[in-house]
């Protein structure tokens, strides 16, 4: 067997960027994105300073999270161990970009598909070396067959003190660095200084820790920019599916409490609301694809290990149960609703909660790995379901408006406990940076005013007081709207802060 990796010799590298340019030329890589680049860092104080180079690229991980999350098998393992890709299969979901802990993948603006270093496998097939290896003037880049103990580069790796990037991610990277300054491989230990970089402008696409952060030991003087991939559409999708799941969960609860005969409030309105919000969820998901016309590849070229595929199946099954519920509601069959109540409740929970597993496959985003995400999503669905019923209560008589307000209050209080637990917990260094960005940095205002104020404090106070003083439907509806708007702000902070931690 052949199992290819790279040996990158930082002692030999002179930082000439010939590898970057050769790669761009070989693969027609557009401006603004890179398959490989040379990062510069500087250590020490003037006049005793040193500059260190490290070549960045895909690590062709033995346990590659990008392959696992790719919903359409566009990323795959080649026979020689290389992680290769097929542009023709890519739907541009960008999941791989959040799964990779190394910033190795970019969206090619010319094709709107995910690209990265593929070891020049078309050249390997013809017995040639990758273009970066050929062009390097100091032999700082070597191909290693890691399964061949007699391979020259493999023997250097075996006997030298080599390092890999982010070994704690357990992806088993196959790019080995010799003679590298460790700070070069840990993006939390270097920062772009206030006066910027050499060779490149600093932009807001250069995620970096603050120069005075704890643990920073050097300055980054050259690196590349990386796009934040999941933004408002993903934050919005989390809310729209929470509403769809929540309203059906409350309807199922009503049936189980013996209100199956309430035709409009239990049998008809909830599946209509869920159907509308599920449709918006689907539109947001498809619109977020860089290749939206290929969305059916989720079925025709499905990777069953990907939670993007499993999530699509959950949403489809939930939509089918909602449709059956609507038919049962229209014909007034409380018996059919009783049969559907348990599957509707289970699929509502799955619809709300599967994103915890999808985000869990995004191994580059430590904030999203929290075990609190699943209960938070379920609590948010309770909030959203209670909110939807509270708003609908302005126009129709529900069977149990007080129970609805308790569902809303339980969701809000449960979410509050989980959010406080999340920001108080001690996680990895990446989690702590992300929580700081969310609560004290760039997203602090929308977190505290939107997520906490509108999403938690206002609805808790209004519903709590309303239940105590019997305020009725109007204040409960206002509280519900506030809770859902605030939920969007919280989700947006969580989604963006998770991606704000530099990975390279």
In the complex, the residues that contact ligand SF4 under the rule CB under 6 A are 58-61, 64-66, 83, 100, 102, 104-105, 116, 171
Nearer to ligand SF4 (CB atom), residue 174 or residue 301:
174
φ, ψ of residue 404 in degrees (nearest 5):
-60, -45
Beta bridge partners of 423: none
How near is the Cβ of 363 to ligand SF4 at its closest, in Å? 8
Q: What gap in Å lies between CA 326 and CA 310, rounded to an integer?
A: 24
- Contact by Cβ (8 Å): 367, 494: yes
How near is the Cβ of 449 to ligand SF4 at its closest, in Å? 36
Please name the residues in contact with 58: beta carbons below 8 A apart, sequence gap of 6 or more: 35, 83, 100, 102, 104, 105, 116, 117, 118, 175
How near is the Cβ of 471 to ligand SF4 at its closest, in Å? 53
Q: What gap in Å lies between CA 365 and CA 358, rounded to an integer?
A: 11
The DSSP symbol for 163 reads E
Nearer to ligand SF4 (CB atom), residue 61 or residue 120:
61
Nearer to ligand SF4 (CB atom), residue 96 or residue 243:
96
Nearer to ligand SF4 (CB atom), residue 174 or residue 496:
174
Sign of CA dihedral 418, 423, 427, 429: positive
Please name the residues in contact with 242: beta carbons below 8 A apart, sequence gap of 6 or more: 352, 377, 380, 381, 383, 384, 487
Category of 398 on φ-ψ map: left (φ > 0), alpha (ψ -120 to 50) or beta:
beta
DSSP 423-451: HHS---HHHHHHHHHHHTSTTHHIIIIII
Pairing of strands 175-178, 4-9: parallel
Q: What gap in Å lies between CA 463 and CA 475, rounded to an integer?
A: 7
How near is the Cβ of 28 to ligand SF4 at its closest, in Å? 19
Nearer to ligand SF4 (CB atom), residue 76 or residue 406:
76
How near is the Cβ of 96 to ligand SF4 at its closest, in Å? 7
Q: What gap in Å lies between CA 304 and CA 75, rounded to an integer?
A: 14
Nearer to ligand SF4 (CB atom), residue 8 or residue 61:
61
Nearest in space to 106 (alpha carbons), one of 173, 174, 35, 204: 35
Q: What gap in Å lies between CA 261 and CA 284, rounded to an integer?
A: 34
Nearer to ligand SF4 (CB atom), residue 58 or residue 387:
58
How near is the Cβ of 169 to ligand SF4 at its closest, in Å? 8
How near is the Cβ of 174 to ligand SF4 at its closest, in Å? 8
Please name the residues in contact with 198: beta carbons below 8 A apart, sequence gap of 6 or more: 40, 221, 222
Nearer to ligand SF4 (CB atom), residue 99 or residue 419:
99
How near is the Cβ of 325 to ligand SF4 at its closest, in Å? 41
Q: Between 232-256 and 373-392, two packed helices, what is the crossing angle to 10 degrees?
A: 70
Nearer to ligand SF4 (CB atom), residue 267 or residue 364:
364
Two tokens, residue 40: 């510069």
How near is the Cβ of 422 to ligand SF4 at its closest, in Å? 26
Nearer to ligand SF4 (CB atom), residue 138 or residue 170:
170
Segment holding 212, helix H or strand E: none
Q: What gap in Å lies between CA 41 and CA 354, rounded to an integer?
A: 40
How near is the Cβ of 35 to ligand SF4 at its closest, in Å? 10
How near is the Cβ of 369 to ligand SF4 at its closest, in Å? 15
Q: What gap in Å lies between CA 159 and CA 164, rounded to an integer?
A: 15
Residue 402 CB coordination number (10 Å): 12
How near is the Cβ of 332 to ligand SF4 at its closest, in Å? 53
Two tokens, residue 215: 């643990």
Nearer to ligand SF4 (CB atom), residue 66 or residue 255:
66
Residue nearest to ligand SF4 (CB): 100
Two tokens, residue 391: 């708003």
Nearer to ligand SF4 (CB atom), residue 59 or residue 235:
59
């Amino acid at each position: 067997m052949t199992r290819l990796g790279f040996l990158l010799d930082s002692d030999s590298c002179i930082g000439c960027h010939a590898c970057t340019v050769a790669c761009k030329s070989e693969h027609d890589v557009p401006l603004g994105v890179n398959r490989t680049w040379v990062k510069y860092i500087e250590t020490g104080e003037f006049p005793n300073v040193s500059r260190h180079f490290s070549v960045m690229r895909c690590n062709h991980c033995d346990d590659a999270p990008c392959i696992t999350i790719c919903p359409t098998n566009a990323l795959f393992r080649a026979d020689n161990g290389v992680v290769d890709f097929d542009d023709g299969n890519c739907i541009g979901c960008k999941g791989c970009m959040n799964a990779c802990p190394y910033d190795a993948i970019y969206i090619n603006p010319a094709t709107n598909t995910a690209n990265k270093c593929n070891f020049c496998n078309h050249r390997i097939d013809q017995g040639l070396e990758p273009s970066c290896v050929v062009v390097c003037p100091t032999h700082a880049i070597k191909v290693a067959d890691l399964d061949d103990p007699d391979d020259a580069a493999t023997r250097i790796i075996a006997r030298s003190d080599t390092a890999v990037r982010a070994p704690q991610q357990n992806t088993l990277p196959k790019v080995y660095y010799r003679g590298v300054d460790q700070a070069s491989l840990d993006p939390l230990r270097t920062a772009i200084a206030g006066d910027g970089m050499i060779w490149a402008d600093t932009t807001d696409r250069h995620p970096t820790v603050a120069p005075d952060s704890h643990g920073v030991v050097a300055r980054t003087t050259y690196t590349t920019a990386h796009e934040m991939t999941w933004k408002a559409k993903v934050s919005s999708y989390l809310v729209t599916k929470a509403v769809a799941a929540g309203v059906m969960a409350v309807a199922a609860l009503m049936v189980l409490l013996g209100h199956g005969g309430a035709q409009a409030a239990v049998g008809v309105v909830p599946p209509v609301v869920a159907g509308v919000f599920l449709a918006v969820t689907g539109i947001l998901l498809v619109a977020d694809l860089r290749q939206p016309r290929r969305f059916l590849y989720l079925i025709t070229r499905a990777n069953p290990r990907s939670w993007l595929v499993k999530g699509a199946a959950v949403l489809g099954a939930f939509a089918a149960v909602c449709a059956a519920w609507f038919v049962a509601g229209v014909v007034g069959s409380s018996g059919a609703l009783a049969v559907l109540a348990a599957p509707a409740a289970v699929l509502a929970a799955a619809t709300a909660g599967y994103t915890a597993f999808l985000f869990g496959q995004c191994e580059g985003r430590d904030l999203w790995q929290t075990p609190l995400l699943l209960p938070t999503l379920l609590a948010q669905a309770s909030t959203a379901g209670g909110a939807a019923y509270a708003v609908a209560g302005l126009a129709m008589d529900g069977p149990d408006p007080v129970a609805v307000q308790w569902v809303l209050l339980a969701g809000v209080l449960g979410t509050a406990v989980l959010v406080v637990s999340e920001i108080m917990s001690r996680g990895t260094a990446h989690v702590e940076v992300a929580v700081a960005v969310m609560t004290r940095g760039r997203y602090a205002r929308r977190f505290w005013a939107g997520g906490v104020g509108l999403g938690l404090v206002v609805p808790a106070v209004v519903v709590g007081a309303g239940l105590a003083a019997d305020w009725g439907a109007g204040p409960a509806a206002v509280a519900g709207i506030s809770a859902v708007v605030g939920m969007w702000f919280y989700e947006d902070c969580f989604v963006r802060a998770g991606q704000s931690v530099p990975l390279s």
